[in-house]
Chains A and B, each alone.
Chain A
Amino acid sequence: MNNVEWFDFISEVTDDIITRHTLGGLFLQVSRKAITSFGYPLEEIISQSPYSFIHEDDIAVVKNNHTFLINERKSEWVKYRLKCKNGDYLSLQSYGKLIHSTLDPLGYEIILYTKILDDDDFEKNIGDVFQMTRMSGDDETLSQKYKSQKKRADKSFHHHTLPIPYNTEEEIRILYRAINSSTNGITVADCRQPDMPLMYVNPAFEVMTGYAIEEVVGKNCRFLQGKDTDQPSLEILRRAMLMAEPVVVILRNYKKDGTLFWNKLELAPVRDSEGVLTHYIGIASDISSEVISRNQISELNLMLAETNDQLRIERDREREYAKSLEKINELKDDFVSSVSHEFRTPLASIIGFAQTLLKDNTISEQLREKFLHIIFNDGKRLARIVEDMLDIARIESGKSTLFKETHDIVAIVKDAMSAFTYDKEKNTNPLIFKTNSSIIALECDRDKIIQVLLNLLTNAQKFSPPDEEIIITLAEEEEIVHIKIKDNGIGIHTDDIHHVFEKFYRVKHPGQEIRGTGLGLPIAKNLIELHGGTISVVSTIGHGSEFIVTLPKRVHE
């Protein structure tokens, strides 16, 4: 217990004006009664000189007494007037006493006991409580008195008088009560004897460790360590003791029955008036429950951190998922919108012409035939859209299979071109076919290759101005063939070019909307890849695009 704690304790139990000062007189601590009597809030007193509160006529006499106390370590009652917060003067009588400073082993502090002069109990209190003795000399006598009351504890106090500066029997009794009622284990070790034996332990220590005082007095407290001597905090403890420094460590200690407990040990060196280390005061707290809960907390924290990580990952995943769902939804909306558009136009034509043919009897035979032909073509167009959608569904579900045979790819390209020209009556883009080969054997599914080529030709035509030629080039190497389809159309923006083979992706052109299901290129890509080939595109805005299909002559299973 240091002076501050001690003073706090005294302040709690007393109704007297007690104040603690530096040697020069500055207020360090004051009891509650001092505050209420003087009327100043704490912050207006602490660190102030008492002389600023004392009536100027009384300053001289108080200073005399102050000097006397410091020089002779003696005090006399001194009467003076002190100015209160409300401006009134209180008549006081004070008695001073020097105590060791706990901060500076060689320094002192002043404790001032003050009575208000019109207090009826004045004389009684002086006699009873504050019968001051000199700092040294009478301590042992008092201790011996004390011994008759508290035999066991006194054994230690008697033989090894602690330089605790509380000299009256009452003070020691208060101190002893405090130590005995403390819930912390308090130990005193004698540094002047070999191996620093314990000379005192309080009841709380007995409860905490299961050892009775008789079992431990005279022993070094390392018995608490058992065999568990490899603890980093022990090294810290040893080093501090070597330097005679105060230290706080947490130790794994063992009770008498072998149970582990975590001991938070605060160790304070005690010096005699010459500054020589005489004792160590140890204050032990069993913090096992704290340590356990701290361990549990760190475990929980670990678990929480893991959970949090997991949650973060899941949240990120969900966000990604939501984002891709959003994207898919957007694509789906686009798809539904464009597919419905693709359906609606031929349907409008079929329904409109059929309705007209049914109602109008005046239509010429020539027009009737023309209208029927349009209905037929738009019907086929609808069928083609349905086929596209089924194709992509088949490819997606992995149900698309190839019927591979050896074919002449030159003939296949020519067939595709004729089909394109035939199917697209209104197509005005001339098709130019360039190749050096008359026949190239290729293992493939003929219908699927034609489908790919038709898709690519349709695509080229869609993005080309009328009458601009579309060039188809066929070239072979030892193992592979290249089919290039080049248009002189509007070209594909670099932002779009990586997406053109994605399902439902439709390149947006400002001021212009290009029709399609957004499935032609994805279907083409899937079919070429089923053949073990690749498809790619190079494009320049304003100069057109070139799709390059590379196919192996033989499909490797």
Chain B
Amino acid sequence: MSKSILLVEDEESMQVLLDYVLKSNGFVVSLAQNGRDALDLLQTTVFDLLCTDIMLPEVNGIEVCAYARKNYPHLPIIVISSKSQEKEIETALNEGANDYITKPFDVDYLLKIIKKYL
């Protein structure tokens, strides 16, 4: 059975890219345009993995991480962000992210990390 991934991303081009890459590798992808939509989806759907950006309208990615980690302790969380400073990475990991990938990223590397957690 295909693994399901919740993708939280507000940038259209990134949505298109990640949606294509993940789907073409056999994953089922649900898309949330912002943090609030992500929280709603997490409550209604069971996911095998969460992929989130940090800079998001309304509820940011760190808050999504914290919420997911609190309510779904075993859900793998991968942050994909343009924020590359150490303290931002540290914050994300402290708030429950399992891994952190900075943009721009190598598509193969991203897939490798995702598969590691599934």
Contact = CB atoms under 8 A, between A and B. Distances in A.
Chain A interface category by residue count: 20 to 34
A512 B104 contact: no
A506 B16 CA distance: 28
Interface in A321-367: 337, 340-342, 344-353, 355-356, 359-360, 362, 367
B2 interface: no
Interface string B62-95: 0100000000000000000011110000000000
A346 B14 CA distance: 9
A349 B58 contact: no
B21 A356 contact: yes
Given A337-B85, A341-B83, A349 B63 contact: no
A369 B71 CA distance: 41
Chain B interface category by residue count: 20 to 34
A513 interface: yes
Given A348-B82, A348-B104, A377 B13 contact: yes
Nearest to A358: B107
A349 B11 contact: yes
Nearest to A347: B104
B117 interface: no
B11 A512 contact: no
Given A511-B58, A515-B55, A352 B21 contact: yes
- Residue among B35, B54, B83 with the highest chain A CB neighbour number at 10 A: B83
A370 interface: yes
B89 to A, nearest CB: 13
A511 B13 contact: no
Given A341-B55, A345-B82, A355-B107, A367 B13 contact: no
A367 B13 CA distance: 13
Given A346-B13, A511-B63, A351 B83 contact: no
A426 B12 contact: yes
Nearest to A349: B13
A397 B36 CA distance: 44
A345 B105 CA distance: 10
B57 A347 contact: no
A258 B74 CA distance: 104
Contacts of B108: 355
A353 B16 CA distance: 9
Nearest to B82: A344
Contacts of B82: 340-342, 344-345, 348
Contact of B106 (A349, A350, A355, A378): A355
A511 B60 contact: yes
Contacts of A352: 14, 17-18, 21, 104-105, 107
A344 B103 contact: yes
A552 B55 CA distance: 40
A344 B102 contact: yes
Contacts of A440: none
B24 interface: yes
A370 B20 CA distance: 12
A26 interface: no
Contacts of B63: 511
Given A352-B105, A512-B57, A367 B20 contact: yes
Given A356-B21, A511-B63, A512-B60, A345 B11 contact: yes
A374 interface: yes
B56 interface: yes
Given A341-B55, A346-B13, A374-B13, A356 B84 contact: no
Contacts of A515: 55
Given A352-B17, A374-B16, A378-B13, A513 B104 contact: no
Contacts of B13: 345-346, 349, 353, 374, 377-378
Contacts of B83: 337, 341
A353 B35 CA distance: 25
A378 B14 CA distance: 11
Given A344-B84, A349-B13, A356 B107 contact: yes
A180 to B, nearest CB: 86
Nearest to A337: B85
A353 B105 CA distance: 11
Considering the complex of A and B, which 4 residue pairs feature the smallest CB-CB distances, nearest first?
A348-B103, A344-B82, A348-B104, A349-B13
Given A352-B14, A367-B20, 11 more contacts: A341-B55, A344-B102, A347-B103, A349-B11, A349-B13, A351-B104, A355-B108, A356-B17, A511-B63, A512-B57, A513-B60
10 contacts: A337-B85, A348-B14, A352-B14, A352-B104, A352-B107, A355-B106, A355-B108, A374-B17, A377-B13, A511-B58
Interface of A: 337, 340-342, 344-353, 355-356, 359-360, 362, 367, 370-371, 374, 377-378, 426, 511-513, 515
